[in-house]
């Protein structure tokens, strides 16, 4: 890599912030390249140049919150649609989990720029991450994200008998969606009617569509873990802050 690249893109690659945050910081004069302030949007840098940010940027970033919700059915992950409420509507003082011991006071200003880092279908439940921190959003939904996600999936077999072992193997590796082979997954039986899925990708309605391909109908789907962060005992419809010791 010897070609100059946009400063905001380089800052994102370095893990300093998201591109949107980078543009904000550049406009505020909070970014230096080789010690010189760069405040013109669209500026380019070479890979060997040293990029640093002012203390104000780090201080602003540290105030950004990440919230974990146990999403109930009937809520959409992002923007309100078709009369359904977005999950962020659940975030208020009254619905904060009583067991949340993070020393952060809730304030409605935290709802600004709070976006879902990944999605859960309207008829799926469990762990949903909302964040103001572009670094976490990139880690969870960036093109090169390697964070795995675990789901408990209740199913019914739509054919006589039970699911053949060969089809369980296909769920693990060998299926394609939209003409593209899926990455290997880890799929195993938890009990007679429930599967555990661990995925490294998140195509739209992926698990439901995978199951359909082998004759399984999904009757319940719950996300219980994203990387190193577990849903745990968080009650349905309640939320808590990401703890300082937790990492995806």
Are residues 140 and 234 both part of a single domain?
A: yes
Res 1: pLDDT:
55
* Phi and psi at residue 115, to the nearest 5°: -120, 150
Residue 223 vs residues 33, 146, 178, 186: alpha-carbon distances, Å: 42, 17, 23, 14
Residue 246 counted as domain residue: no
Residue 103 counted as domain residue: yes
Task: Please choose, from the candidates 218, 221, 229, the residue with its C-alpha nearest in 3D space to the C-alpha of residue 126.
Answer: 221
CATH number of the domain where residue 28 is located: 3.10.290.10
Are residues 138 and 155 both part of a single domain?
A: no
206 vs 204, residue with greater confidence: 206
146 vs 6, residue with greater confidence: 6
Task: Summarize the confidence of residues 59-75 as an average pLDDT.
Answer: 89
Are residues 56 and 84 both part of a single domain?
A: no
Residue 247 counted as domain residue: no
Whole-structure pTM value: 0.80
| Residues labelled as active-site residues | 121
> H-type helices in 19-155, by residue range?
19-27, 55-62, 134-141
CATH number of the domain where residue 205 is located: 3.30.2350.10
How does pLDDT run across 187-197, given as a tens digit for each residue? 999 999 999 99
Res 12: pLDDT:
82
Res 110: pLDDT:
87
CB 77 within 8 A of CB 71: yes
pLDDT at 248 over 80: yes
Confidence at 71, pLDDT banded by 50, 70, 90: very high
Containing structural domain, residue 88: 66-145+229-241
How does pLDDT run across 1-54, given as a tens digit for each residue? 578 999 999 988 887 887 888 998 999 999 999 999 999 999 999 989 999 999
| Cα first-last separation, the chain | 29
Are residues 32 and 55 both part of a single domain?
A: yes
Are residues 222 and 129 both part of a single domain?
A: no
How does pLDDT run across 168-182, given as a tens digit for each residue? 999 999 999 999 999
Task: Summarize the confidence of residues 69-93 as an average pLDDT.
Answer: 91
pLDDT at 112 over 60: yes
> H-type helices in the chain, by residue range?
7-13, 19-27, 55-62, 134-141, 165-172, 206-213
């Amino acid at each position: 890599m010897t070609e100059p690249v946009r400063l905001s893109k380089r800052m994102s690659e370095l893990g300093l912030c998201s591109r949107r945050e980078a543009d904000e910081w550049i406009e505020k004069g909070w970014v230096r390249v080789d010690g010189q302030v760069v405040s013109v949007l669209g500026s380019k840098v070479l890979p060997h140049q040293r990029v640093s940010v002012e203390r104000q940027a780090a201080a602003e970033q540290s105030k950004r919150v990440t919230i974990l919700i146990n999403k109930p059915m009937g809520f959409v992950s992002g923007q309100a649609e078709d009369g359904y409420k977005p999950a962020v509507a659940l975030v208020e003082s009254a619905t904060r989990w009583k067991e949340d011991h993070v020393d952060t006071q809730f304030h409605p200003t935290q709802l600004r720029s709070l976006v879902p880092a990944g999605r859960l279908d309207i008829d799926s439940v469990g762990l949903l991450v909302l964040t103001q921190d572009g670094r976490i959003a990139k880690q969870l939904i960036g093109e090169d994200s390697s964070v795995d996600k675990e789901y408990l999936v209740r199913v019914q077999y739509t054919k006589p008998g039970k699911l053949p072992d060969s089809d369980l193997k296909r769920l693990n590796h060998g299926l394609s969606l939209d003409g593209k082979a899926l990455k290997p997954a880890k799929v195993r039986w938890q009990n007679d009617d429930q599967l555990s899925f661990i995925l490294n990708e998140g195509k739209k309605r992926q698990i439901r569509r995978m199951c359909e391909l082998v004759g399984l109908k999904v009757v319940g789907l719950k996300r219980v873990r994203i990387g190193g962060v577990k849903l745990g005992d968080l009650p349905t419809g309640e939320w808590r802050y990401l703890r300082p010791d937790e990492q995806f």
